[in-house]
Amino acid sequence: MKNKTEFKDMWVFIQHNGETVEPVSLELMCETRKLCDAAGEKLAAVIVGELPERELEKVLDCGADKLIRVSGTGYDYPSVDAYANLFTVLCRKYEPSAVMVGGTIFGRDFAPRFACRLPTGCTSDATELVYDPKTGDIEFIEPAVGGRMMAVITVPVMRPQVGTIRPGTFKYAPAGKRECEVTEEMVDFPVEDIRTKILGFKADEVDESLNIADADVIVCVGNGLRGADALPKYRELARLLGGKLACTRPVFDRGVLPFKLVIGQSGVVVKPKLLISFGVSGAVNHVTGFSDAGMVIAVNKDPDAAIFNYCDYGFVGDMDDVCEMLIGKLRG
């Protein structure tokens, strides 16, 4: 077994659809740039297939030292078989110290597969990345035990360190273009060996009310919600504020609202200018989902609720009463 210090460079998988790069890939490039600076290593972007020049420039602006461009058969659409094989081949050839993958549905599917084949460890849905100069390890930090504590996970022996990171966790703040070394790789994967076959595509019916990731104003209801019959007032408040309704995981578990409206580690990471929470306890698993919100207002009848540790303004009172009062004020 090789010593872990012999593995160099940190990679970021650039997920794209042929036209645009997934935002989480750019966010990861920016954050991994910081890790590379701390570790004295180089940052490499791994791109499969063709990418428009404007999108490639976004990737390079994040401070890439290296660009690995991959072509070959088997990549016409995202296939876990082809991509798991590809990263197994590339990691064995170049021996990077870390591989970061966006926590998309596809990323969470193929990352642990190639990690297992190498074999090495894979941490899923980290919300923070820290480089430890004493050990040379990356600390993947994420909520655990239902959000009641933060787990620090490392891969102390094996390399590369593989991790998936939830979209929206990090900021897209390009460090600027650097001199970049380009490597071309041809890795074919037999199409007949792809076990899943795409028979066709059907576009989702887009319901913009369920897209909370980019909302400027969010009204979030927690487990203090009495039931579905109480929702109309909170929808109305969100409408009056020009915002959208969201919820915590327990509200989804009760079958009151759909999963796409869940804020937190197990749902969506949001960065609204204003977030008003009603009846939210303040579990770590939830609050990590809005850590970059501009202003947070919390309403809870329990004066000792943890949510008051994460808000700018807090109101102790009945959530329904406060909501109705705000609606009355907004209506004049």
Cβ neighbors of 184 (< 8 A, separation 6 or more) are 69, 71
Residue 192's pLDDT is 86
For residues 11 and 3, the model is more confident at 11
Domain ranges of the chain: 4-193, 208-331
pLDDT band at 145 (very low <50, low <70, confident <90, very high): low
Residue 328's pLDDT is 93
pLDDT band at 52 (very low <50, low <70, confident <90, very high): very high
Task: Give the separation between CA 31 and CA 11, rounded to whole angstroms.
Answer: 12
User: What are 272-298's pLDDT values in tens digits?
Assistant: 999 999 999 998 889 888 988 999 999
The radius of gyration computed from the CA coordinates of the chain, to the nearest angstrom, equals 22
pLDDT band at 269 (very low <50, low <70, confident <90, very high): confident
pLDDT band at 167 (very low <50, low <70, confident <90, very high): confident
Which region among 153-167, 185-199, 225-239 has the lowest average model confidence (pLDDT)?
185-199
Cβ neighbors of 76 (< 8 A, separation 6 or more) are none
Residue 208's pLDDT is 66
- Cβ 92 vs Cβ 118: under 8 Å: yes
- Mean pLDDT computed over 52-73: 95
DSSP β-ladder status, 217-221 and 274-278: parallel
- Mean pLDDT computed over 43-70: 95
Element at 122 (helix H, strand E): strand 122-126
User: What are 82-109's pLDDT values in tens digits?
Assistant: 999 999 999 999 999 999 999 988 999 9
> 3-class SS at 165?
strand
Decide whether 4-193 matches 208-331 in CATH topology: yes
- Mean pLDDT computed over 24-37: 96
- Which of 139-143, 206-210, 265-269 tops mean pLDDT? 139-143
Residue 220's pLDDT is 97
- Asked if the model's pLDDT at residue 265 lies above 80, the reply is no
Average pLDDT for the chain: 91
Residue 203's pLDDT is 65
Residue 8's pLDDT is 93
Residue 78's pLDDT is 86
- The CATH class of 208-331 is alpha beta
- Asked if the model's pLDDT at residue 239 lies above 80, the reply is yes
The structure's pTM equals 0.78
User: What are 184-196's pLDDT values in tens digits?
Assistant: 999 999 888 888 8
Residue 292's pLDDT is 84
Residue 288's pLDDT is 82
Measuring CA to CA, which residue among 232, 233, 229, 270 is closest to residue 248?
270
> What single string gives the DSSP state of each residue in 108-149?
HHHHHHHHHHTT--EEEEESEEEEETTTTEEEEEEEETTTTE
pLDDT band at 243 (very low <50, low <70, confident <90, very high): very high
The superfamily in CATH containing domain 4-193 is: HUPs (3.40.50.620)
- Asked if the model's pLDDT at residue 204 lies above 70, the reply is no
Residue 324's pLDDT is 95
Task: Give the separation between CA 79 and CA 90, rounded to whole angstroms.
Answer: 16
